[in-house]
């Protein structure tokens, strides 16, 4: 289902068929380049992934991974987090930025988990997004990576930028970009697709200095400065 609750539109026009062919080629090339692509937020269980994803807003995964070991040592369960003192939690997560709001959301989210789900992470989009501080992107991260459930595509800043550069969408809003990507790629690929695009954005197609000369997608990318996309 798309973010608006509808099924992704499938078009059989020649233009759409060509775009789907390009999308499939992108996926294959990226999978070959990054066969080990995965979520780079360190976690041992669904709760840890949920909390780490909340912390990752406006923050790098690397920074989050420096903070979470001590955080999860002190607060190993949803019940522990629900009982955390705001000021103590803020100190632990301070370096991730927006720490007051994040601490408030983590405590409120944990209280809801304890009260509504016996401290366990729910496995539906509706239940996850009803939790304080959890939006569709965070829910997609948890569902796809903790449970192997492909409900949608995680659209972060890398996915937004690369999907536009690669000609996969003309939209700018994450929800609309997600809908476009869901219509182009098979459901089974949705979780991995986001990892592949994120890894490529971090390792090759850097926003400030894209390495078009050595890019695995250079011959097919319409935005490439080294070659003209030919697929």
Across all residues in the chain, what is the average pLDDT? Answer: 93
pLDDT at position 10 over 60: no
Buried b (16+ CB within 10 A) or exposed e, 62-84: eebbebbeebbeebeebeebbeb
Q: List domains and CATH numbers for the chain.
A: 14-33+152-214 (1.10.1670.10), 46-146 (1.10.340.30)
How close are the terminal C-alpha atoms of the chain, in Å? 29
Could you say which of 85, 156, 172, 176 is catalytic?
A: 156
- Say what the pLDDT of residue 4 is: 66
- Is a pLDDT exceeding 80 seen at residue 1? no
The predicted-structure confidence for 52-90, as pLDDT tens digits, reads as follows 999 999 999 999 999 999 999 999 999 999 999 999 999
What average pLDDT does the segment 124-149 reach?
98
**Secondary structure (DSSP) of 136-205:** HHHHHHHHHHHS---SS----HHHHHHHHHTTS----SHHHHHHHHHHHS-GGGHHHHHHHHHHHHHHTS
Number of H helices, E strands in the chain: 11, 0
Q: Is 61 a catalytic residue?
A: no
Percent of the chain topping pLDDT 70: 92
Q: Which residues contact 97 (CB under 8 A, 6 or more apart)?
A: 58, 59
Rg value, the chain, Cα = 19
The pLDDT, as a whole number, for residue 17 is 84
Token digits for 74?
A: 């002190």
Asked if residues 110 and 82 have their Cβ atoms less than 8 Å apart, the reply is yes
pLDDT at 230: 45
Catalytic pick among 111, 137, 172, 211: 137
Question: By three-state DSSP, how is residue 11 classified?
Answer: coil
Cβ contacts of 183 within 8 Å, gap of 6 or more: 8, 9, 10, 11
What is the predicted pLDDT for the residue at 159? 98
Tokens of 62: 């690397």
Q: Is 36 a catalytic residue?
A: no
Residue 67 structure tokens: 């903070």
């Amino acid at each position: 289902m798309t973010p608006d609750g509808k099924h992704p539109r499938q078009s059989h026009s020649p233009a759409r068929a060509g775009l789907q062919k390009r999308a499939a080629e992108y996926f294959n090339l990226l999978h070959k380049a990054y066969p080990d692509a995965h979520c780079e937020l360190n976690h041992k269980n669904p709760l840890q992934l949920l909390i780490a994803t909340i912390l990752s807003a406006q923050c790098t995964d690397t920074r989050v991974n420096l903070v979470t070991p001590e955080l999860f040592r002190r607060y190993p369960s949803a019940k522990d987090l629900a009982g955390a003192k705001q000021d103590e939690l803020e100190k632990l997560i301070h370096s991730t930025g927006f720490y007051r709001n994040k601490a408030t959301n983590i405590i409120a989210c944990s209280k809801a988990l304890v009260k509504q789900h016996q401290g366990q992470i729910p496995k539906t989009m509706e239940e996850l997004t009803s939790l304080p501080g959890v939006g569709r992107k965070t829910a997609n991260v948890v569902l796809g990576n903790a449970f192997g459930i492909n409900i949608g595509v995680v659209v972060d800043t890398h996915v937004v930028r690369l999907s536009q550069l690669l000609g996969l969408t003309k939209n700018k809003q994450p929800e609309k970009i997600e809908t476009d990507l869901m219509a182009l790629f098979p459901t089974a690929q949705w979780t991995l697709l986001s990892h592949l695009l994120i890894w490529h954005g971090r390792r090759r197609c850097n926003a400030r200095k894209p390495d078009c000369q050595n890019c695995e997608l250079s011959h097919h990318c319409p935005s490439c400065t080294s070659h003209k996309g030919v697929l």
